Structure 1
């Protein structure tokens, strides 16, 4: 097998392609031949060495991927050779309340991720994916897809007719547009790009707001706060009295100067989501299969060019998910 690793340290220059022994599955494990991987903003944070101290090199990056079961342990039931599955982002969180050591089980840091030709995972931490999805589409489900799903499911499921405001047009935001529309919600999206605005309307967004010219929005039942410190007060102004702000991302900063009076007097709910358990991945897969939903793919890089995929995500010019094919030429 071959795997991309942050070897001597973090940073793009330390991301190297290394040969390794193909692992053997334990009694309750499956061996996957990886087909595709997808990048998230979190992967840039890891690459920059800005994650918690528990995330250390050497490390195989990326949490989102899909593979084919090519071997399994003798105690594995319910999965067969040839099944196409995604490993869950949280390998140790099956369902219910999050465990106290939630951060310990994350793929792509501190656990080795999926940017490899072969990987072994516990059988109870992988989920079969819908047949209609391509490999890159299926690869986007474990973190980006589940984060959007959780944002529309917690603390209560989105309702038909509910007004959902989604900040931005990144990977999680595009998933949220697709899922919210399938649930019958009215979808409003903010963007600063006229090209992206047109694409978002094609995807079914009811309204697209150019945040460069329309700085104030109001009346949403639920706001998916994907920006962080720089946009949190905008979300407070945008949500209706009694509404909910779902804290998802922090790409604009980690520390927010939050003006509290409207939060207190308007009885707002601030609720955070951090991906979700294996049970949520199964629920997402059922919804995608039932509604025949298609994640939006922007570009797929060949395995040998994986570092260029990090560069592309960092530049932020691609509409849709940035993915890497894990198929290689020649021996692995």
Structure 2
């Protein structure tokens, strides 16, 4: 089999294509022939060696993938050979509250990820792929997709008629637009350019705000909501955007903390939070049961994740570069896994 691994350290210069023996599943495991993977901003953090002491080389990167079962252990009865599945981002979180050792179960660091032609996973960590999705589309779901689902479900579900503000145009944001629309909510989306704004309208956003033209976009959000503010914010930006997100949400509203692309240390004007009874709630992907619930919704509404670009497995480092350069609107995927993979 082939696999990509960070060897002596992180950075693209240390990402090497390797060959090795095909792994064999244990009694409760399955062997997947991988067909596609997808990148998240988190994978750039790993690439830069900024994900903390727990994530160290050697490491096979990427958490989000999809494949087909080609072998399974004797104690596996829930799946059969030929089933199309994806591994959950958290390999040990089945449902309910997150386990105390949540961080140790993440694919793509500290656990080896899916940038390999064959992977072994516990059967208990797998989720069936909706039949209407391609492998590339399904590969976008384990982290980015479930994060979008969790952001619209926690601490309480988004309701029909509510307004949700979504920051950015990455994989989490685009799927959140589709899921929010499917539940009957109104969507306001911020982006960084006129070109991206036009594309986001094509994805079904009700209102698109170009931050490059409207510096005080929180004021625009309040104007679009009759001066009240939105019900929920999917805060994907981080330090540089959190202040305006707080101004954009209604009294009693919820800010879902997801990303920190613009920085880790935010300064807050606490009276805006305290006197308006705001809820700041963080999500970090979700459990296997949340993954299954999301897939049922995707199948019911025939929602398809957006893909900006697919790069062949043997040129996988180009996928990291494409994500760094923010190429296109949608997910950056790695495909064509099995071409000459051995």
The TM-score bracket by the shorter chain reads over 0.9
The residue number in structure 2 matching 1:244 is: 254
The residue number in structure 2 matching 1:255 is: 265
The residue number in structure 1 matching 2:244 is: 234
Distance 1:313 1:302 in 2: 15
Change in 2 beyond 3 A, CA 1:261/1:60: same
Report the 3-state secondary structure (helix = DSSP H, G, I; strand = E; otherwise coil) of the residue aligned with 2:124.
Answer: helix
Distance 2:193 2:51 in 1: 30
Distance 1:241 1:212 in 2: 27
Distance 1:308 1:114 in 2: 16
Q: Structure 2: where are the runs of 5+ without partners?
A: 223-228
The residue number in structure 1 matching 2:217 is: 216
The residue number in structure 2 matching 1:329 is: 339
Superposed displacement of residue 328, structure 1: 3.2
Report the 3-state secondary structure (helix = DSSP H, G, I; strand = E; otherwise coil) of the residue aligned with 1:86.
Answer: strand
The residue number in structure 2 matching 1:76 is: 76
Cα deviations by residue, 1:254-311 (Å, 9 ceiling, x for unpaired): 1101111100000000000000000011001101011100100000000111000000
The residue number in structure 1 matching 2:31 is: 31
Superposed displacement of residue 38, structure 1: 0.1
- Is contact 1:5–1:61 with CA below 8 Å preserved after alignment? yes
The residue number in structure 2 matching 1:301 is: 311
Superposed displacement of residue 212, structure 1: 2.0
Superposed displacement of residue 58, structure 1: 0.3
The residue number in structure 2 matching 1:159 is: 159
Q: Structure 1: where are the runs of 5+ without partners?
A: none
The residue number in structure 2 matching 1:172 is: 172
Superposed displacement of residue 331, structure 1: 4.5
The residue number in structure 2 matching 1:116 is: 116
Distance 1:192 1:6 in 2: 32
- Is contact 1:178–1:293 with CA below 8 Å preserved after alignment? yes
Superposed displacement of residue 21, structure 1: 0.9
Distance 1:182 1:90 in 2: 26
The 4+ residue runs of structure 1 with deviation greater than 3 A are none
Report the 3-state secondary structure (helix = DSSP H, G, I; strand = E; otherwise coil) of the residue aligned with 1:78.
Answer: coil
The residue number in structure 2 matching 1:266 is: 276
Change in 2 beyond 3 A, CA 1:313/1:331: closer
Distance 1:107 1:331 in 2: 22
TM-score by length of 1: 0.99
Superposed displacement of residue 213, structure 1: 2.3
- Is contact 1:246–1:271 with CA below 8 Å preserved after alignment? yes
Distance 1:275 1:264 in 2: 27
Distance 1:111 1:181 in 2: 35
Distance 2:95 2:71 in 1: 26
Superposed displacement of residue 330, structure 1: 2.2
Please report the RMSD computed on the Cα atoms of aligned residues, expressed in angstroms: 0.8
Distance 2:262 2:145 in 1: 21
